[in-house]
Structure 1
Amino acid sequence: MPDLPLTAWVALAAVLGLLVGSFLNVVILRLPERMAAEWRREARDVLELEADGETLPPGIVREPSHCPHCKHPLSPADNIPLFGWLLLRGRCRYCKVKISAQYPLVELLSGVLSAIVVWKLGPTWPALAGLALTWVLIALSGIDFRTQLLPDQLTLPLLWLGLVLSLKPLFVAAPTAILGAAIGYLSLWSVYWVFKLLTGKEGMGHGDFKLLAALGAWMGPLALLPIILLSSLVGAIVGGCLIAMKRHHSDVPMPFGPFIAMAGWTWFAFGDSLWQAYRHAFGLA
């Protein structure tokens, strides 16, 4: 790799993260719609029903970006990550309808987290893998927030990538990654069934099992307990605040995947520092 100072690599990672964040917005918006349309088509085939002429929603890669409201294609200037939204003052250039703040927030989050990964790991292969992990977690969080879905199209490749990287090993060795994936899946799977047997309700989706399994494959079983504790703590705080502010009803399910993703990324980037701080605080150092 070119001999550049770390600050230059961090800046490049931030710019790359902004660009990827723009694509992640497309994934967050289009992948669930595409999945739902394909499920309806498969259901009609299984039930041997006549096709209703439904056309599939725009794909993720081929179809150009357009306004979700008026469908007008966006100009290159409109597609500039973060700055395009600011220049348009949050409104479509053509129909003047408000553009969701999700677009700049996802781009900004992707840029900031990408910069942090390279700052922590340097211009290395682990940093490149860490960027991939970061981007997939952002996409999964956005989709789960909007639809309460964690698509297999993202969770399973993330799981398999973690297992493949363990062959190097890049973060953890293969036996540790396999054990982490198995414990990650079975832990939430067990909680799911115990809760369902006791209450008759489903407390979480199967995608949560797969996401925690993927994080276990990347970081090993020792990371799972901190991830579960962090995600539960953050979820309880956020959920309590939303209920107190009357932004969310207590009877309405809240997606847990974003909190797992948030806790997983935090432990991936700062796990060593958090563990040392914990040991120091309780006199274990």
Structure 2
Amino acid sequence: MMWTSWGNAWAGMGLALVLAVCFFWPARYLSWNLPIELAPELEARSRRVHRQWGWVCQGLALVLMLWAAWRWHLTPAAAVACVFIAGTALLAWIDAETGYLPDRLTLPLLWLGLLVNLDHGFTSLPLAVLGAAIGYGALWLLNHVFLLLTGRAGMGYGDFKLLAALGAWLGATALPGMILSASVLGLLAALILRLSGRLQAGQAIHFGPYLVLGAWIMLFTLPGIL
């Protein structure tokens, strides 16, 4: 059912555009207000920077939603992929600015991924469940090993929950590629920031956006409709 086409690629892109427009305003509201509810001191941050990150995340989301519709035409899979892209773009936006990955977004995303895969959507349900469990457990274990070796945490629990949600959507088999892509992109970003003087030695980077980029890469390795 997920891959049954109801129309051509152009019709799918039209639906993707509608979904992107519907995503725009809630994302603007949530990306600013939700983190402030969790940490009121964040209200002092610059709205100008917030808008800049917004254009980056929403622009990327729009392009990827249109690409998903082009690949999978007017299908339930394309519509659900657009929802996945929009939700993960919002999480990347919030994490890039604040370092927070709110449970109010990551946990619904996780459950929605499992529901999408009840009837073998992007992966089988067993692989989706394993993806959620292994995604959380792998980062939890890595973080605790890092903590034992260095005496400080390497990442937050929001990252564990985000990877669990991504695993629930794309399955356990997507996790190695997702983590590898995220790690390479994160290291490149850290190197560039370090060389430009915008990242000090020992300063952490927010890993959520790179996990999202890795998930997008793995999403588009799924087959298109010929």
Q: 1:15 deviation in Å? A: 4.8
- Match for 1:133 among 65, 84, 104? 84
Report the AA paired with residue 217 of structure 1: A
Structure exhibiting the larger radius of gyration computed from Cα positions: 1
**Cα distance in 2 between the residues matched to 1:107 and 1:263:** 17
**Cα distance in 1 between the residues matched to 2:198 and 2:49:** 21
Could you say which residue in structure 1 is the equivalent of 2:105?
Answer: 154
Q: 1:245 deviation in Å? A: 0.9
Task: Give the TM-score normalised by the residue count of structure 2.
Answer: 0.87
Q: Does structure 1 residue 102 correspond to structure 2 residue 53?
A: yes
The answer to whether the 8 A contact 2:8-2:74 is kept is no
Identify, as 1 or 2, the structure richer in helix: 2
Q: Does structure 1 residue 245 correspond to structure 2 residue 196?
A: yes
Report the AA paired with residue 197 of structure 2: K
> Given the superposition, is the C-alpha separation of residues 8 and 210 from structure 1 closer, same or farther in structure 2, using an over 3 Å criterion?
same
Secondary structure (helix, strand or coil) at the match of 1:100 reads helix
Could you say which residue in structure 2 is the equivalent of 1:198?
Answer: 149
- Match for 1:25 among 21, 28, 34? 28
The answer to whether the 8 A contact 1:177-1:217 is kept is yes
Report the AA paired with residue 160 of structure 1: W
Could you say which residue in structure 2 is the equivalent of 1:263?
Answer: 214
> Given the superposition, is the C-alpha separation of residues 192 and 272 from structure 1 closer, same or farther in structure 2, using an over 3 Å criterion?
farther
Could you say which residue in structure 2 is the equivalent of 1:183?
Answer: 134
Q: 1:241 deviation in Å? A: 0.4
Q: 1:249 deviation in Å? A: 1.5
1:27-106 equivalence runs, <5 A: 27-37=30-40, 100-106=51-57
**Cα distance in 2 between the residues matched to 1:231 and 1:3:** 34
CA deviation string 1:66-113 (max 9, x = no partner): xx87xxxxxxxxxxxxxxxxxxxxxxxxxxx89832343333222211
> Given the superposition, is the C-alpha separation of residues 35 and 123 from structure 1 closer, same or farther in structure 2, using an over 3 Å criterion?
same
Could you say which residue in structure 1 is the equivalent of 2:12?
Answer: 9
- Match for 1:112 among 63, 71, 76? 63
Q: 1:11 deviation in Å? A: 4.0
> Given the superposition, is the C-alpha separation of residues 18 and 113 from structure 1 closer, same or farther in structure 2, using an over 3 Å criterion?
farther
Report the AA paired with residue 17 of structure 1: A
What is the aligned length? 218
The answer to whether the 8 A contact 1:180-1:216 is kept is yes
- Match for 2:94 among 143, 157, 177? 143
> Given the superposition, is the C-alpha separation of residues 99 and 2 from structure 1 closer, same or farther in structure 2, using an over 3 Å criterion?
same
Could you say which residue in structure 1 is the equivalent of 2:164?
Answer: 213
**Cα distance in 1 between the residues matched to 2:151 and 2:49:** 41
**Cα distance in 1 between the residues matched to 2:83 and 2:19:** 12
The answer to whether the 8 A contact 2:182-2:210 is kept is yes
